[in-house]
Amino acid sequence: MNKQPRLNFWQIWNVSFGFLGIQMGFALQGANVSRVLSSLGADLHQLPLFWLAAPVMGLIVQPIIGGASDRTWNRFGRRGPYILGGAIIAALAMFFMPNAGLAVKIMPPLVFGAIMFALMDGSFNITMQPFRALVADMTSEDQRNAGYSIQSFLINTGAVLGSILPFVMTNVLGVSNVDPDGGVPSSVIWSFYIGGGMLLLSVIWTVFRTKEYPPKEYAEYKGLEVELKGKKESGSLRGFIDLLKNTPKTMMQLSVVQFFSWFSLYLMWVYTTYALAQHSWGCPITDVKSEAFQDAGDWVGILFGGYSLFAAVFSIFMTRLANKFGRKIIYSFALFLGGVGFLSTYLFSGGDLIHLNLLITVVDIPSSAALWLFPMAGVGIAWAAILAMPYSILSDSLPPDKMGVYMGIFNFTIAGPQIISGIVAGEILRYFFAGEAIYIMVIAGVSMLLGAISVAFVKQNKAVN
C-alpha cells in the first residue's frame, strides 16, 4: 500500500471551502424558515411537521447519493458531480422559497413554501453528504482531525454570515423588516438571494480547485485490493441490507449520541424564535406578525450567528484538544456545555429595553435577550463538536471503498431523531406547556446532557478493508 500524500493547509482548506456557502444556506434556513412559514400561514403547533421535510429528505437522499458517489468517476471527479449538482438546485430553491406568495395562482403560498423548503433541504443533502466523504477521501489518517476541524471552522464561519444577514439588511442597510401585507419581509428575501449566490460560488471553488484521486490511485492509498470502479453489491437492495448487517459497532454506539444531540438541535431550530419572542419580548403565543416578533426573529439570527462564531473559534483549538485529551473526552465535554446552555435560557426573561452597540449598529432589545448570548457559547461549542467529532471517530472504523455509502447510512442517526422530534414536539408544546416555547428549550438541554453521558459508551475501532 502506497502512503497517501499529506495535504498542505490550503489544499485541505480548498477541499472544505464549499461548506462555507452550504452552511450560509443552512443558517438562513435554520433561523428563518419558521418565520417564513409563519408569515405564509403556518400555525405554531404545525411548524414541527413542516420541518419534517428536512430530515425526511436527508433520510432518503444521503444514503443514495453516498452509495452513488462511491461508484462514480468522471471529469469532475468522484464526489464533485454530486456536490456541484446539489448546489445548483439548492441555490434555485433559496431564490424561490421566500417568494412563495408569487405562486398564489398556482397553489397556496404555504404549500409552495413547504415544497421549496423540502427541495432546498434535499439539495443541501445532495451536496453535503459527498462533502463529508470527500474530506475522508483526500486526507490521510493522521490528518483526519485537522480536516474535519477546518471543515467545522468553515461551516461555522458560513453560519455566522448567514445567520446575521437579515439583521444586517435591516439595521445597517435599512431594508424593510416588516411586510405591509403580512408576508415575508424584504430583509429575509434579499438574505436568501445573497446566501444562494454564496453557496453556488463556494461550491464551484471546491469542485474546480480540488483534484480527486483517480480510482486506481485511491485504491493504492487506501489499501484496497482492486481498483475502485464501484462494487455493484452496494447498489442493490441485497447489498444495502448486507451493509446494514455489517454496520460497524462504533457507528451503532455513535447513533445513540447522535439521537440526543440532533433531537435537541431540531427543537432549537424550530422554536428559538418563539421561545425568545415570548420569554424576552413578551409576545403573546399567537403573535407571529408584529414588529416585536420580527425583531425577535432578527435577534435569533444574531444568536445563531453567535453560537456559530463560538463554534468557529472552538474549531481552531479542537484538533489540538482532541489529540491531547482524546476525541471522546472533548466530544462529551462539548455536549455537556451545550446542554447547560439550553437549560440556562430559562433564566433570562423579560427586562427593560437596553441600547446594545454591535459595532455595525445600535439596537434596542430587552436586557434578557442580550443575555441569551451566554447560553449560545455552550451551544456553539457543542455544535462544533457535533459537526466534527462523530465523523472523525467514525471514519477510522469504515472500509475506504464504502466510505460514502456508510456516511450516507450514518445520516439516519441525524434524520431519525429529528423526525421523532418533529412528530412529538408540537403535541408536547400544546398539551404540556400551553404553547410556552421556552420549555422546549429546557427539553433540548436535558437531551443534550444525555448525549454527553452516552459518549462514554462509544468504542473506537479500526477499519477493516
| 241 pLDDT above the threshold of 60 | yes
> Do residues 255 and 459 lie in contact, with contact meaning Cβ atoms separated by under 8 Å?
no
| 203 has a pLDDT exceeding 80 | yes
Cβ-based neighbour number of residue 435 at 10 Å = 14
- CA–CA separation, 167 vs 164, rounded Å? 5
Minimum mean pLDDT among 26-40, 158-172, 256-270, 375-389: which range? 26-40
Q: Which pLDDT tens digit goes with each residue over 106-136?
A: 777 777 777 888 888 888 878 877 777 787 7
Place 104 in a pLDDT band, splitting at 50, 70 and 90: low
* pLDDT tens-digit readout, 51-68: 787 777 777 776 677 777
pLDDT at 225 exceeding the cut of 60: no
Closest CA to 327 of 156, 146, 130, 136: 146
Answer yes or no: pTM beyond 0.75. Answer: no
Section 76-83 average pLDDT: 84
CA 89 to chain centre: 18
Of 249 and 243, the one with more pLDDT: 249
Cα–Cα distance measured from residue 353 to residue 43, given in angstroms and rounded to the nearest whole number? 29
So what's the pLDDT on residue 387? 83
Region 275-284 average pLDDT: 91
Give tens-digit pLDDT for 42-52: 777 777 778 78
Place 1 in a pLDDT band, splitting at 50, 70 and 90. low
* Residue with the larger pLDDT of the pair 350 and 348: 348
